[in-house]
Structure formats: structure tokens, C-alpha cells
Amino acid sequence: MNTAEHLHPKYTYADLAQWPEDERWELIEGVPYAMTSPQRLHQEIVSELCRQIGNYLQGKSCEIYVAPFDVRLPYKNEADNDVETVVQPDLSVICDPSKLDKKGCRGAPDWIIEVLSPSTALKDMNAKRNLYQQHGVEEYWIIHPEDRWIMVYTFDEKGRYGQPGVFGMDEATRVQRFSDLSIDWSFMPAVEISNPSPNIV
């Protein structure tokens, strides 16, 4: 083991399973990230989206799961204990039942939604965007509850996330993965929009 590896060890799913059950962690390429308790508005959004999407998915083959729910993202065919990337998206929609097991999901969900909070914003908008693109998450939503906008990433013809669509919450947002599903934002409390059009790098 070289010095860099000794100072910055990479953790795996096997390590994660040994950590205290009352703590929530994600691993991104072996680097651990502590997850803090979400604010009430965050939970209200997640609960309402789960209700709307769950109602739509009734009778369909896809299923929706709410964090804490482990999504293991192997890079090759490594065993679960050796997987170095394990995330807990706020909402995960999975349409391939073979990816589901008693531990959660192994492989990329079809649709992931993350609701931003101050402690997770950079990770959700950068590290996770790149991660989900690399592993083949077909649709990735980032929701900014305070400024009331939704950023939607989908794959372009090159198999990469193109320039995201940015939508306000003044009208329903159509889901790309399910063309007959739109999310109704009328449940959101009215707030002043301070930055409706974020700069995208």
C-alpha cells in the first residue's frame, strides 16, 4: 500500500455494513459522505412525490423507493462486499426487478430524484450527476425547494447527459421516462423566487 492509499483508504459496502445503524453514509468511489437529517420541507416534497409517482406506478412493473434505500453501483462484476459506490437517493424508480434484492438495488435505477439541501447541494449537482451518468441512470432530477426550480437530466444521442432542462414549479413538470406522467407542484408553499434560472457549467 502506498502512502496516498494509507492516508486516504477506500471503503467498500462491506465496511459500510459494519458502521452504526443509526448513522447514514454514502460511498462514492470509496469515499464516505455522512448524511444529515433532512429539513421538514425536504421531507414533505419527498413524501408527496412518492405519493404521486407511486399512484401512477400502480399496476406497472416499475417500483419506487424512498431513502434510506441502498443503491449499489458496481463498476464491473465485483461482489457486493467490494462495491465502492453505494448511494441513497431521495427517490429511486426501478423498472428491472432483477436489480432488486433484500439489500436494496444493485445497478442503476431508471429515474432518480434528489432534493437539494445546503449540506448535499454540491454533491448532488456535481459528483452524483457524473456518477449517475456513468452508471446509466436514464433520468435524473435535482429539485431546489427554496428557489422552486427543477433541473432534469436525460441522455443525449451520445449517451451522455446533455444540457439539463430547468423548470419552475408554476406548472406541472412532465417526466421523460413516463410520457403520460407529470408532477403537480401545487402542494408547494408559495415563496419568492430568488434564482429561478441557475447558471449551468
Q: Which residues contact 153 (CB under 8 A, 6 or more apart)?
A: 129, 132, 133, 139, 140, 141, 142, 161, 162, 164
Q: Half-sphere exposure of residue 124, counting CA atoms within 13 Å on the CB side?
A: 23
Q: How far apart are CA 125 and CA 133, in angstroms?
A: 12
Q: What is the pTM of this model?
A: 0.88
Cα 15 to Cα 5, 9, 31: the distances in Å are 16, 11, 11
The torsion of the CA quartet 75, 71, 91, 46, rounded to 10 degrees, works out to -130
Neighbours of 134 (CB within 10 A): 14
Q: What is the pLDDT along the chain (201 residues), one digit of tens a residue?
A: 333 444 567 999 999 999 998 889 999 999 999 988 888 999 999 999 999 999 999 999 999 999 999 999 999 999 999 999 999 999 999 999 999 999 999 999 999 999 998 777 778 888 899 999 999 999 999 999 989 999 999 999 888 999 999 999 999 999 999 999 999 999 998 765 455 555 554
DSSP class of residue 75?
S
Q: Which residues contact 56 (CB under 8 A, 6 or more apart)?
A: 178, 181
The span from the first CA to the last CA of the chain, in angstroms, equals 37
Q: How far apart are CA 16 and CA 86, in angstroms?
A: 9
Helix (H) or strand (E) holding 15: helix 13-16
Cell of 106: 444493485
Gyration radius of the chain's alpha carbons: 17
Neighbours of 21 (CB within 10 A): 6
